[in-house]
């Protein structure tokens, strides 16, 4: 939740003061936030978005993509391990970045002040995004998307 009342993304509904929000967000320290793989802000839909015909991919399509990505990971590691379980040596082996991606991650490390733990989490998420798209390598769009899932 973005604030104590849970409506922080909607200024019309939020009843919290700026002090309440600061105090609430300070409860999560940097090391705890470092352990969160994905940080995504989800906003309340308005009535037009709720009633819209187009709702994205159907659950069955998404399920198939996830099963294919898990099969890729099972082939890579065996049945008991997924990308989120990678050790440092696995990251070095399976999360190789080309020059462009390396430049991007260097910039992210500097500008977002990333820890080593966060850097590794970004690589694991990028590897998973690449698997979901059926890509053998982590490419620029995969890395960029993974970086966007970090709390700034």
CA-to-CA distance for 127 and 143, rounded, in angstroms? Answer: 8
Q: What is the mean pLDDT of residues 10-23?
A: 86
Residue 33 lies in a domain: no
Residue 100 lies in a domain: yes
The pLDDT score that the predictor gives to residue 152 is 62
Residue 11 lies in a domain: no
Share of the chain above pLDDT 90, in %: 60
Q: Work out the mean pLDDT of the chain and round it to a whole number.
A: 89
CA-to-CA distance for 92 and 123, rounded, in angstroms? Answer: 10
CA-to-CA distance for 108 and 103, rounded, in angstroms? Answer: 9
Residue 128 lies in a domain: yes
Asked if residue 20 lies in contact with residue 3, where contact means CB atoms within 8 angstroms, the answer is yes
Kindly provide the b/e burial profile for residues 102-125, where b requires at least 16 CB atoms within 10 angstroms of the residue's own CB: eebbeebeeeeebeeebebbbbbb
Q: What is the mean pLDDT of residues 68-91?
A: 93
Q: What is the mean pLDDT of residues 17-45?
A: 81
The pLDDT score that the predictor gives to residue 140 is 98
The pLDDT score that the predictor gives to residue 53 is 67
**Residue 77 corresponds to which tokens in the numbers above?**
């590691």
Residue 19 lies in a domain: no
Please count the structural domains in the chain: 1
The pLDDT score that the predictor gives to residue 24 is 85
Residue 23 lies in a domain: no
Residue 120 lies in a domain: yes
Asked if residue 132 lies in contact with residue 69, where contact means CB atoms within 8 angstroms, the answer is yes
Helix (H, G, I), strand (E, B) or coil at 80: coil
Residue 113 lies in a domain: yes
Kindly provide the b/e burial profile for residues 80-99, where b requires at least 16 CB atoms within 10 angstroms of the residue's own CB: eebbeebeeebbeebbebee
- Domain holding 116, by residue range, is 59-148
Q: What is the mean pLDDT of residues 101-118?
A: 95
pLDDT at 134 over 80: yes
The pLDDT score that the predictor gives to residue 77 is 93
């Amino acid at each position: 939740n973005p604030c104590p009342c849970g409506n922080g993304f909607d200024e019309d509904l939020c009843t919290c003061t700026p002090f309440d929000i600061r105090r609430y967000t300070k409860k999560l320290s940097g090391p705890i936030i470092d352990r969160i793989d994905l940080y995504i802000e989800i906003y309340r839909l308005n009535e037009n978005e709720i009633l819209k015909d187009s709702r994205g991919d159907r659950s069955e399509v998404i399920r198939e993509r996830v099963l294919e990505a898990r099969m890729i990971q099972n082939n890579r590691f065996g049945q008991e391990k997924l990308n989120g379980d990678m050790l440092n040596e696995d990251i070095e082996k399976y999360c190789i970045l080309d020059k462009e991606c390396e430049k991007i991650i260097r910039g992210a490390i500097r500008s977002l002040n990333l820890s080593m733990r966060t850097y590794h989490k970004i690589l694991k998420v990028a590897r998973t995004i690449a698997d979901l798209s059926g890509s053998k390598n982590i490419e620029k769009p995969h890395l960029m998307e993974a970086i966007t899932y970090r709390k700034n």
